[in-house]
Amino acid sequence: LFSESHPELLELSHGTLMTCTLLGQPSLHLIDIKDILSVVGMVPHSLTLPSGVVENRFFVVEKSGLEIAHSGPEADDGDDNDGAEDGDGGGGDADD
């Protein structure tokens, strides 16, 4: 489904950024499940190539796990009282 990694970007990143383009359905092949050695994720991203061309590409993520579910900002726990105890009104209303 994806192209080979961009050789110049792979070299410039010292082998750490494997970035590919989507080839689509024509490149889809069925394989025997016993032939699968590992599974990777393909994460979409846009980048400017050394030539100056901007491309929509995908980068390879190996060994991703549950830790990526928490890679963004901390989740809001729903407590809008900013440290105030429950039941005290949250403090600061002009009508209090």
pLDDT in tens, 39-54: 888 889 898 877 888 9
Tokens of 8: 């110049």
If one compares 50 and 16, the residue with the highest pLDDT of the two is 16
Task: Give the pLDDT score at 5.
Answer: 87
Query: What are φ and ψ of residue 93, in 5° steps?
Result: -70, 140
Asked if 57 and 20 touch (Cβ cutoff 8 Å), the reply is yes
Place of tokens 């400017």: 48
State if pTM tops 0.95: no
pLDDT in tens, 50-83: 788 898 998 888 876 655 555 556 655 555 555 5
* Res 32 pLDDT > 90: yes
Task: Give the pLDDT score at 78.
Answer: 59
